[in-house]
Amino acid sequence: MHIPDGYLSPETCIVMYGAAAPFWYQASRRVKQALSGRAGPLIAVFAALSFTIQMFNIPVPLGTSAHAVGGTLMAIVLGPWAAIVGVSVAVIIQAVFFGDGGITAIGANAFNMAVALPLSGYAVYALLSRGAAPSSRRRIVAAAVGGYVGINIAGLLVALELGLQPVFWSAGGRALYNPYGLAATIPAMAITHLTIAGFAEAALTALALSYLLRAHPALLIAPLRARPTAGAGHAVGRGRWAVLAILTALVLLAPLGLLAPGGAAFEWGAKDLAGLVGYVPAGLAGLGALWQLAPLPGYQLPGLSGAASVLERAPGYILSAAVGVSLIFTLAFAARIALSRRGPRPASGPRGG
């Protein structure tokens, strides 16, 4: 689902940055107080969970792989605006430090996975769980359906963005960027997400919410309150440590994601595309090599061939997961320091006073 550099035209990339920008602005305003308060660490923890979850690749029928995102889960626990911030941070770190998704396509990838996915997933959850008791099974079912719908909406947007490229940007009968039209991209993304990825996201969201409702319900009702209720801070703290323990386990188990054969659809390199369609699109060849400074490209140590065995690649994968999680916590810590130094704004007087 991570669109690489060169698959989208510069015009499409600009449009997608423009589409994501209003949501980034509004989300940053909405979660500013939460970042400086006791919900800040939770936003970092769930952003790190989303980052790590995406490293667990799952094989799909087309010989490629897919992954869950965790955006709907974060939206349910901390709210959709926090999910936009958290998943966007994960997407940006993936692109810059690991070459997973293009620099030019950050706007598109963030809009698909960090905006459309959590907002649509949360909307479905809110609709289906309306009036349900906090511990009701209907909330679990609603979370599963929300997760399933959210990731399929994101997959459909990816298919549309990619499939429109050869329609508008071709020369001499050859596509300049992604060479596959809507007739190929929509079925491919539909098969991937309506089957494997959709059910993976649904299971992740339902199981995680079920655990939190049973073991740490305060995480769902206390973190974003302006005034904590008695005992809520301790309950949130216990829940935060539990989620951190789960995150640590996921980091250590991350190499399981290497067992899935094949890469994700429409994330092929120039050489792979040449073998598939018989040529390398000119625009893709130019933009595809734009970012070569990722410290751990492909979540591996530099120079380690993709043909290496899973055991040989496992240490680099664990290191990449640990680095990604550390970067997310570092950014959250820096944001808390910056916000605490600014301090609360003084109340403004009456207009014209």
Instruction: Encode pLDDT of 244-270 as tens digits.
Output: 899 999 999 999 999 887 778 888 888
Please, are residues 328 and 44 in contact by the beta-carbon 8 Å criterion? yes
pLDDT tens digit string along 337-347? 887 776 554 44
pLDDT value of position 344: 53
Using alpha carbons, list the distances in angstroms from residue 85 to 11, 31, 44, 323.
25, 8, 10, 19
| CATH classification code of 10-342 | 1.10.1760.20
For the segment 157-178, the average pLDDT, to the nearest whole number, is: 96
Distance CA 225, CA 199 (A): 32
Banded pLDDT at 222 (limits 50, 70, 90): very low
Banded pLDDT at 215 (limits 50, 70, 90): confident
Out of 56-60, 65-69, 294-298, 347-351, pick the least confident.
Answer: 347-351
Banded pLDDT at 233 (limits 50, 70, 90): low
What ranges do the domains of the chain cover?
A: 10-342
For the cut 90, the answer to whether the pLDDT of residue 224 exceeds it is: no
pLDDT value of position 221: 58
Banded pLDDT at 41 (limits 50, 70, 90): confident
Banded pLDDT at 24 (limits 50, 70, 90): very high
Spatial CB neighbours of 299, under 8 Å, sequence gap ≥ 6 = 55, 98, 100, 316, 317, 320, 321
What counts of helices (H) and strands (E) characterise the chain? 15, 4
pLDDT tens digit string along 61-84? 777 889 999 999 999 999 999 999
For the segment 257-284, the average pLDDT, to the nearest whole number, is: 88
For the cut 90, the answer to whether the pLDDT of residue 319 exceeds it is: yes
pTM score = 0.90
For the cut 90, the answer to whether the pLDDT of residue 117 exceeds it is: yes
